[in-house]
A and B are shown apart, each in its own frame.
Chain A
Amino acid sequence: MPDIIAAADETAASNLIHAAETTLGTLTKSGSGSLGPFTAAWFASASFSGGMVDLIAPNVVRIANCQLNYSLGFNFSFDLSSILPDFCLPQICIPIPFDGKLCTPKICVNWPTITIPVSNSGVINFTADFSLNVHLSGSDWLIDIVVVGIPFLQIGPAAAAILAAIGLAASLALLAVPFIGPFLAAAVVGITAAIGIAGVTGLLGPILTPFVSGLTFTVYKQPKLFQVLPPALPDPAVNINLDAITAVVASSNEDELVISVDISA
């Protein structure tokens, strides 16, 4: 029999995992990818929260409806001439009696290439199975739960929200373009149509999937040399060695996360 047995039911295990989600903090990544016909440089951050824990013997921790809280910023360049025809306002001359004529200059509009910055935050729920992994890391014992496989992320709703954000960002960017007034709505429609949901999904998937691929939460971290009592002058600290640790999911009339520890003086 192990020297110490610590057990947590699914309620307590949920608390452990929610604490581990908080400890993991915010993860960040950056890169560039395809946004429909465009190339977007992006920066993304993600954190995790919530979820219902289901312990499945002997080694599975299932988290249902875990929240992936993401924040995404990207920008891409768009040549307006690709959807709006360039045009020229012809020269107009007005004859002036006894003094020749007064002419306006010929004005040609060549639509510029604009940079559209987009930012969006949202939540994607996912369900995933994690396996227990007990290991020594340096002088610390860790119990990690490591995601099994690559969780499916339902990114359709997020993609729709981002496409709407692109439209809004495009409107703001276009307002600064001279002579765009009559063409504003058409330009926005043209930009969002060029990208489409598929384009956003194509960008979003490769950005968010790495956050959940290999996702690891540390639910236990203690030094191998474990302090029982702190120093209290004139006495030194009292420590024990955590020699071996195992973690399993045990199932009886309820499912529990059971941590077994062997110690020595």
Chain B
Amino acid sequence: MSLTEAETVFAGVHEAGVNELFKAFFTARPRFLTYATPGLVPPATPFTSVPAIAFPGIPGGIEYRIRFEIPTVDFAPDSSGGSSPLPVGTGQLNIRTKVTITVGCYRFFDDTGKDRQGTVIPISTSLEVWARGKPTVTYFSPGNGEVGFSLDEVEIVDITPDSLESVVECILRMVLQAVIRNVRLPFNTLTAGAFSLALVRGPEIEDDQVKIYGNA
């Protein structure tokens, strides 16, 4: 069967290529990997500033930092060797990353009974995150569009009780989706600039590739 099938042009990017694109994107724009209140970020570290979580009685609110490693993608069929807790099915993809969540732990001192003086001590935990999703497309005009990724489920292993795992997974699904939404792969990149592609079919996931079909 031809690559273009019923259309006139085809572009397919292997998961290894998409991982290089992820690496290029997050290396050039590292602020999309770190979301933090300014007080919890080391100097000269690129980050996206977020406000502290306001809470009555905590001066300045709860400071926190969420930092991801550069995600990697695995397109169907599964290439994880059985290690994925969310194995991909037909047309699906896995995104895997590691997230480090840091909270500014505010402690009250009352040594003399005269002063209440607070300090913020950061404490962190790191979690392996697996997500399962599918490709999306935004189509602007013939030849102009972008492929992105949406996440349907997130799995974090080894958290108990299950209710806590569900809460953490929900939070991380929302956050990781927001992170991944920043990664856009223009059609022109998927074709390596070989030709303009007016989308007819796709994006489709198969053969470890994301594929789009169209007319030149």
Task: Please list the residues of chain A having a beta carbon within 8 angstroms of any beta carbon in chain B.
Answer: 1-9, 11-12, 15-16, 220, 222, 226, 228-229, 234-240, 242, 245, 250, 252-254, 256, 258-259, 261, 263-265
Contacts and interface: CB of A to CB of B under 8 A. Distances in A.
Given A5-B13, A265-B20, 19 more contacts: A1-B14, A1-B208, A2-B14, A3-B20, A6-B10, A6-B195, A7-B4, A7-B9, A8-B216, A16-B216, A222-B192, A226-B192, A228-B189, A229-B184, A239-B28, A242-B192, A253-B2, A256-B4, A258-B3
Given A2-B14, A4-B14, A240 B2 contact: no
Most buried by B among A1, A242, A253: A1
B196 to A, nearest CB: 9
Most buried by A among B1, B29, B193: B193
A9 to B, nearest CB: 5
A3 B189 CA distance: 11
A6 B194 contact: yes
A9 B192 contact: no
B4 A254 contact: yes
20 contacts: A1-B14, A4-B13, A4-B17, A6-B11, A6-B190, A6-B192, A8-B194, A9-B8, A16-B195, A222-B192, A226-B193, A228-B25, A228-B185, A229-B184, A235-B28, A235-B31, A239-B28, A240-B189, A259-B194, A265-B23
B12 interface: yes
Contacts, number: 125
Nearest to A240: B24
Contacts of B185: 228
B166 interface: no
A12 B14 contact: no
B16 interface: yes
Most buried by A among B3, B4, B194, B195: B194
A259 to B, nearest CB: 5
Nearest to A251: B2
Contacts of B122: none
